[in-house]
Each structure stands twice: as C-alpha cells, then as structure tokens.
C-alpha cells in the first residue's frame, strides 16, 4: 500500500469519502456519540471538530451533528436528565466541564477523598503556578523541563488551582491558584508568599522576572 493510500486527508474527513469501513466506523449516530463522549471525558484541552473527526474516523458533518446532540443530551433537552457536567465550546474546540453550580460540592468531595500529602513534583508545579500565574501548562512544563499533565490534574482535583482563562489565540488554558491554597498556607494573599530569589540557584530557570 502506498503512503498516499494510507493517509486520511482533511477533505476525506470533511466529506466522508474514505472507504466504507472507515467512514462508517462500525456504527451509526449513537456509536459516534458514545465514542466522542469517551474521548471528551479524558481530554485535558478543548478538542477541535477536525481532531475529533479524525479520532473517530467519521465525516466532519457527522461529528458536528453528534456533538450538538451530546450538548442537548447533557443539558436535558427533550426530556433527558440534565447532567452535572456540560459540553462547552471553548477557543475553537470542545471540552466537558463540571457545571459551575456543582463546583463547591465537587471540591469538597475531592478534598475528602485525597487526604494524602502532595508529591515533590506536585509541590514544585504548584510553586511555579503560584509565582507565575496566570500560566499555561506548556509554560509550566518549560520551566520544570518535565511533563506536568498528571500533576496539573492532581492540583485541579485538590482544588488548589483553577482554570483562570483560555487564550483566545492558542486555545491554551491558563491556570491560577485558589483561595483554598491561601487557606492551606495560612496566608491572606499571594503577596505574603516569600521572595523567591533567595530560594533559587544561580540559574533562575524561568523566574528571572520575580523578586
């Protein structure tokens, strides 16, 4: 098989002009929705329709329709039960979020389920976010020189950081610390954090602009 024959092009994803098995994906509309739902449940960043269409190997028009059906399903349209989460379009992509009204109970639950101490990696990542916020996951990873995806999820789960905003150009989520962190540290504001310069080695490693 040639390379050209093995690659699904953007036009094929948009029009569904690939071979039958690929375009059908082994199921109908319900199957597409369930696959999309599963992908979005584990996605850390908003997912574009093109990316989702490629992932489930279905035409873009079918994926767009399936996404809208999922939105309606989660929102309780047409007599379905309104879910505690919602499917939201952010920065040109789609992602599942806990509904705002449930944030307090989710935060309390996570705290009671995670009494263990933070790992050294989590503490270092939390320090970067605290001193450099708002900051994207990529910027944190650049400063720490390691992948921080799982650590950021842990900190979000503990309620110590929150998604401050999504960059309109890049789609990157920027993170900031929460009032819970202040409570845990026993301080009233981030201004009470110690100066970081004396704590750093000769290489500031991303903290050059801090006192």
What are residue 95's DSSP bridge partners?
Answer: 88
* 60, 18 Cβ separation under 8 angstroms: no
pTM of the model: 0.50
**How far, in Å, CA of 10 to CA of 50, rounded?**
8
pLDDT per residue as tens digits for the range 133-189: 999 999 999 998 898 988 998 899 888 999 999 988 888 899 999 988 887 787 888
Q: Which residues lie below 8 Å from residue 161, measured CB to CB, with a gap of 6+? A: 126, 129, 152, 155, 175, 176, 177, 178, 181
Q: Of 163, 157, 191, which is closest to residue 177 (Cα–Cα)?
A: 163
Query: Residue 118 burial by CB count (10 A; 0-12/13-18/19+): exposed, middle or buried?
Result: middle
- The SS3 assignment for 157 reads helix
The pairing of strands 173-177 and 161-166 is antiparallel
Return all residues near 174 (Cβ < 8 A) that are at least 6 apart.
133, 134, 135, 136, 163, 164, 165, 166, 167
Q: Where are the alpha helices (DSSP H) in the chain?
A: 3-6, 10-15, 20-24, 29-42, 49-56, 60-75, 103-113, 120-132, 137-144, 149-158, 179-185
- Segment 1-39, tens digit of pLDDT: 433 433 344 444 444 444 433 344 445 778 899 999 999
Of the pLDDT bands very low, low, confident and very high (cuts 50, 70, 90), residue 106 is confident
Task: Return the bridge partners of 59, or none.
Answer: none
Residue 201 DSSP one-character state: -
* Domains assigned to the chain: 3-98 (1.10.10.10), 100-199 (1.10.10.10)
pLDDT of residue 57: 93
State the pLDDT at residue 113.
64
């Amino acid at each position: 098989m040639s390379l050209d024959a093995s690659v699904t092009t953007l036009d094929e994803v948009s029009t569904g002009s690939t071979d039958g098995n690929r375009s059908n994906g082994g199921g109908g509309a319900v199957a597409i929705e369930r696959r999309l739902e599963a992908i979005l449940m584990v996605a850390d960043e908003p997912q574009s329709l093109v990316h989702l269409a490629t992932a489930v190997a279905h035409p873009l028009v079918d994926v767009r329709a399936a996404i809208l059906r999922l939105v309606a399903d989660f929102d309780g349209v047409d007599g379905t039960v309104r879910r505690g989460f919602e499917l939201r379009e952010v920065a040109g992509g789609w992602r599942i979020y806990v509904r705002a009204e449930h944030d307090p109970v989710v935060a309390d639950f996570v705290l009671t389920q995670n009494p263990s101490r933070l790992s050294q990696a989590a503490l270092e990542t939390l320090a970067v976010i605290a001193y450099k916020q708002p900051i994207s996951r990529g910027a944190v990873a650049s400063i720490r020189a390691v992948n921080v995806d799982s650590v950021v999820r842990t900190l979000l789960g503990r309620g110590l950081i929150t998604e401050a905003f999504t960059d309109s150009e890049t789609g990157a989520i920027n993170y900031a610390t929460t009032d819970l962190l202040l409570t845990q540290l026993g301080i009233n504001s981030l201004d009470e954090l110690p100066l970081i310069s004396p704590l750093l080695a000769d290489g500031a490693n991303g903290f050059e602009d801090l006192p």
